Amino acid sequence: MEVNGKDDLNVPLLKSSDDFVVDIPQPTNNKERKIRTVKFKIGEIKCASCSTTVESLLQKLDGIENAVVSPLQGLAAINYIPELIKVKKIKEAIEEAGFPVDEFPEQDISVCRLRIKGMACTSCSESIERALQMIDGVKTAVVGLALEEAKVHFDPNLTDTDCIIEAIEDAGFGAELISSENDANKVHLTVEGVNSPEDLTIIRSSLESVVGVTHVEMNLEENKITVAYDPDLNGPRSLINCIKEAGNGSKSYNASLFVAPIRREAEQQQEIRIYRDQFFLSCIFSVPVFVFSMLLPMLPPYGNWLDYKIHNMLTIGILLRWILCTPVQFIIGRRFYVGSYYALRRKSANMDVLVALGTNAAYFYSMYILIKALTSDKFEGQDFFETSAMLISFILLGKYLEVLAKGKTSDALSKLTDLAPDTAHLLTLDNDGNVVSEEEISTQLLQKNDIIKIVPGAKVPVDGIVIDGQSHVNESMITGEAIPIAKGPGDKVIGGTMNENGCLLVKATHVGSETALSQIVQLVEAAQLARAPVQKLADKISRFFVPTVVAAAFLTWLGWFITGQAGVYPEYWIPEATNKFELALQFGISVLVVACPCALGLATPTAVMVATGKGASQGVLIKGGNALEKAHKVKTVVFDKTGTLTVGKPEVVSAVPFSGYSMEEFCDLATAAEVNSEHPLAKAVVEHAKRYRQKIGSHTKHFTEVKDFEVHTGAGISGKVGDATVLVGNKRLMRACKVPIGPEVDDYISKNEQLARTCMLVAIDGKVAGAFAVTDPVKPEAKLVISFLRSMSISSVMVTGDNLATATAIANEVGIDKVFAETDPLGKADKIKELQMKGMAVAMVGDGINDSPALAAADVGMAIGAGTDVAIEAADIVLIKSNLEDVVTAIDLSRKTMSRIRLNYVWALGYNILGMPIAAGILFPFTGIRLPPWLAGACMAASSISVVCSSLLLQSYKKPLHARMP
């Protein structure tokens, strides 16, 4: 029951169920203050007086709007204002009154995705995770550095997205809500004509009266309405019409889809522009500084004017370098100060801390030199203003090139997202199926059961079924299959695919977030956000990396300074116009800058992003870095038979009656029993019986209803048809039901099993009445796939519920050596575990509900895309095209990705391992080679760019098996 207004809260709302959740409607008049509901169970409630006591106690608390306690079960539901009182305080107040809270509330968990701005390295993402996990109500939080997103699971009764965003901003980062879990069946509308609360009430009442609407949120300030609805009963177009119809007389309302102003691509372009502009602005100042300090002094007499003394020892050169460097240090480099402040405030350290330390050391030491030169007529010293300016410029260049490259890592996902067209041609039909009208509308306004016209050359807007027309549809964008597929009435079409040459009328079956394209995008986004186990190495290193680098830099400076003061190294080692302190300082700054951990944090996520996106465009959906990493370890692939190695559409090739039964009689009884079964073999029997009846001229469409229908998993079915008890299944079922199998039947079974046919016996009243020989043709690519897996040192195993002879015949045909036949679904999972006990990493490839336990048990579950939803849900990898070649693709892509990640770590750690000793001056005593701080900054930037570019090379990945096929 929908309740509006505070007065209605007095209506009894408690349910007499065992569930402790009590639903209380929230007051709608909450424009100024947010009101939330918390629900839990209270102990020691023995009578109505106890519940009244608790209610009275709660009502006295500041911030409690309403409280209801059931005297029967002690179930409580409390409306409260989170700004005034916390859930913990409510719980403590009840317990202080002598009533224990037996179950602290554990409500439905919501999920939200957020865009994060300002992350520089892995320590930033870890800091955000820690900040989020400290929020009361947040269960889990995962932050993706490369994707620049966060996924947060939280209890909506304890916190909300506003609190989550506020926590991220308090940690020093920008945050913007992308979506929440509940947005799937919500529509956001902009309303015109709303000028008063009365208008809102009219529109709300109108919307709440619509069938399927579950919740309405209104915002008068932004003229925005959010409506939650059941997509099977309603849709956005109907809701917009409802708002328009709510107007009457002088009141006129209009509504349209609310379009979010910022998209990911626009944000990426904006970030690229910011770094580019900052780099060019930095260059305007830092290039002259570099010229005045490095080039002109080496080109006398052109640089002599820089040595002109203005006052005491202060020269024009030092003054110019200070004037030009200061804007770079404090205006353009302000981002590093801000980042450092927030990092240190949350007791962590990141790239910004290293950059700020290095540049400040150079700048303020140079300021010391400038002041000494200004105040002394004898002092001589070398400033490092060019170090500070050039360092910031190189870091900005590195970040600019990095964000430019990182934008390309999600290209595949962007292409998938853009596949769906913006508009669609909606048809209105009369009762006779004639077209009454046609209009072009936004794809977002389409609803289930809409009829859409798709002209040649147009994209299919949503998933649906063809009701009229013939054409060929190119599904390569979704499945990777280049050959257009013929479509006619009854065929399914996928949103985002291209209609080639005919006009189709399509009935929408899945719209919005339910379309295959939307689910693929959601799956890839989730995969890119999930961390691969190999990422843990970088996370562990990053925790102590920056403090270690700072310590190493300090020790480097101290080591060079002390040895210099002690006269350990000769004076001629010190470069001209530099003293021992300055030389030591340069080495320390170089160590600080060259060892930045940015590249380390990007090594895994960028590779996973590119690989999952590339896999999706090739028809292989990989559910996260975990699945991607496990797949490269696979040494054994277990295949289901029916629908996996075989086409999955069995056909009856032989039917023989036994024991004096007529063909018609035994076909009719078998069909009546099998018509309720969803098994492919059952469907083959039913189709054969229909064809047989047509052949003999019988047009009976209705069969006697089966009673006591029972499925015997992995064996067959049984039931009563009329007065007859009918069994349809394999020999195992006959033995279990003690039905004798004569020599004639046994001989028929043996002959067909040798031909890789499955025999289905039909028993009537305890006697075998006949048998069907069913064959399921092997997929044409199966033999090649098994052979190719063997060349990859991967063994293949078949596990099937079919009989041993048929399974062996199929295995011999495709080249599989090991077969487990007559295995039930749980038995398949057990076989997987047996193989794992031998130390093998096992992948399972299946398509049916009966494969779900095995898919879940395997190290890597691979579901054939045409299979059942349950199988796809249980799998780690989904092969959209239902093509076995993609088993090889998935494993090979995993191997290539893991190899690329390892190479990325070489690039990332290589710069640090080689760069830090050189920056610390290990080569200087022997070769005179040292790494100036500005050059160390260039090396640091190069490490991040090289890692991202290395990951981008995965974009050129090609299927290994497809390339070798004739």
Give residue-wise pLDDT tens across range 450-507: 899 998 888 899 889 999 888 888 876 665 555 678 888 888 888 888 888 888 999 9
| pLDDT tops 70 at residue 213 | yes
Q: Are residues 144 and 219 both part of a single domain?
A: no
| pLDDT tops 50 at residue 790 | yes
Element (H, E) at 77: strand 75-80
Q: Are residues 723 and 692 both part of a single domain?
A: yes
pLDDT tens per residue, range 643-667: 788 887 778 888 888 877 778 777 8
Number of structural domains found in the chain:
8
| Backbone torsions φ then ψ of 180, nearest 5 degrees | -125, 160
Angle of helix 385-409 relative to helix 580-594, nearest 10 degrees?
10
Q: Are residues 628 and 766 both part of a single domain?
A: no
> pLDDT class for 18, splitting at 50, 70, 90?
very low
Helix/strand/coil (H/E/C) assignment for every residue in 300-356: CCCCHHHHCEEECCEEHHHHHHHHHHHHHHHHHCHHHHHHHHHHHHCCCCCHHHHHH
| pLDDT tops 70 at residue 263 | no
The closest alpha carbon to 96, from 60, 127, 147, belongs to: 60
Alpha-carbon span 599 to 335, nearest angstrom:
19
pLDDT at residue 7, as a whole number: 39
CB 743 within 8 A of CB 751: no
Share the mean pLDDT of the chain.
Answer: 79
Q: Are residues 642 and 670 both part of a single domain?
A: no
Alpha-carbon span 846 to 644, nearest angstrom:
6
pLDDT at residue 20, as a whole number: 33
Number of H helices, E strands in the chain: 31, 36
pLDDT at residue 27, as a whole number: 40
| pLDDT tops 80 at residue 703 | no
Tell me whether the omega of the peptide bond preceding residue 301 falls within 30 degrees of 0, making it cis. yes
Spell out a b/e string for 638-664, using b for 16 or more CB atoms within 10 Å of the CB, else e: bbbbbbbbbbbebebebbebbeebeee
Q: Are residues 160 and 196 both part of a single domain?
A: no
| Backbone torsions φ then ψ of 639, nearest 5 degrees | -110, 135
Asked if residue 719 belongs to a domain, the reply is yes
Residue 533's contacts (CB-CB under 8 Å, 6 or more residues apart) are 625, 626, 629
Asked if residue 90 belongs to a domain, the reply is yes
Angle of helix 885-919 relative to helix 933-952, nearest 10 degrees?
170
> pLDDT class for 319, splitting at 50, 70, 90?
very high
Residue 290's contacts (CB-CB under 8 Å, 6 or more residues apart) are 386, 389, 390, 934
Q: Are residues 568 and 593 both part of a single domain?
A: yes
Asked if residue 517 belongs to a domain, the reply is no
Task: Answer with the one of 775, 799, 827 that is the final residue of a domain.
Answer: 775
Q: Check which CATH number belongs to the domain holding 658 and give it.
A: 3.40.1110.10
pLDDT at residue 181, as a whole number: 60
49-63, 66-80, 554-568: which range is least confident on average? 66-80
Asked if residue 586 belongs to a domain, the reply is yes
Residue 957's contacts (CB-CB under 8 Å, 6 or more residues apart) are 611, 614, 618, 893, 896
Check residues 320 and 408 and name the one with the higher pLDDT. Answer: 320
Q: How many CA atoms lie within 13 A of 657 on its CB side?
A: 13
CB 226 within 8 A of CB 183: no
Enter the DSSP assignment of 542.
H
Element (H, E) at 160: none
3-state helix, strand, coil in the chain (%, to 5): 50, 20, 30
Q: Are residues 793 and 887 both part of a single domain?
A: yes
Asked if residue 962 belongs to a domain, the reply is no
Q: Are residues 448 and 505 both part of a single domain?
A: yes
Q: Check which CATH number belongs to the domain holding 59 and give it.
A: 3.30.70.100
Q: Are residues 209 and 98 both part of a single domain?
A: no
| pLDDT tops 70 at residue 757 | yes
| pLDDT tops 60 at residue 22 | no
Q: Are residues 849 and 924 both part of a single domain?
A: no
| pLDDT tops 50 at residue 908 | yes
> pLDDT class for 851, splitting at 50, 70, 90?
confident
Instruction: Provide mean pLDDT across the span 345-373.
Output: 81
The closest alpha carbon to 387, from 567, 589, 111, belongs to: 589
Check residues 158 and 436 and name the one with the higher pLDDT. Answer: 436
> pLDDT class for 322, splitting at 50, 70, 90?
very high
Check residues 560 and 754 and name the one with the higher pLDDT. Answer: 560
Check residues 884 and 12 and name the one with the higher pLDDT. Answer: 884
pLDDT at residue 700, as a whole number: 55
**Highest averaged pLDDT of the listed ranges 33-42, 351-360, 845-854, 944-953:** 944-953
> pLDDT class for 285, splitting at 50, 70, 90?
very high
Task: Answer with the one of 481, 512, 543 that is the final residue of a domain.
Answer: 512
Instruction: Provide mean pLDDT across the span 677-697.
Output: 79
Q: Are residues 230 and 372 both part of a single domain?
A: no
Asked if residue 734 belongs to a domain, the reply is yes
Instruction: Provide mean pLDDT across the span 910-926.
Output: 83
Check residues 874 and 129 and name the one with the higher pLDDT. Answer: 129
Asked if residue 680 belongs to a domain, the reply is yes
Instruction: Provide mean pLDDT across the span 262-270.
Output: 68
Predicted TM-score of the model (pTM): 0.64
> pLDDT class for 17, splitting at 50, 70, 90?
very low
Alpha-carbon span 496 to 478, nearest angstrom:
7
Taking every pair of Cα atoms in the chain, the longest distance, rounded to a whole number of angstroms, is 126
| pLDDT tops 70 at residue 800 | yes
Residue 750's contacts (CB-CB under 8 Å, 6 or more residues apart) are 805
Q: Are residues 274 and 213 both part of a single domain?
A: no
Where in the sequence is the domain holding 499, given as residue range(s)?
Answer: 423-512
Check residues 703 and 191 and name the one with the higher pLDDT. Answer: 191
Asked if residue 966 belongs to a domain, the reply is no
Instruction: Provide mean pLDDT across the span 669-689.
Output: 80
Task: Answer with the one of 164, 180, 196 that is the final residue of a domain.
Answer: 180
Ordered strands of the 36-42 beta sheet: 64-69, 75-80, 36-42, 101-103
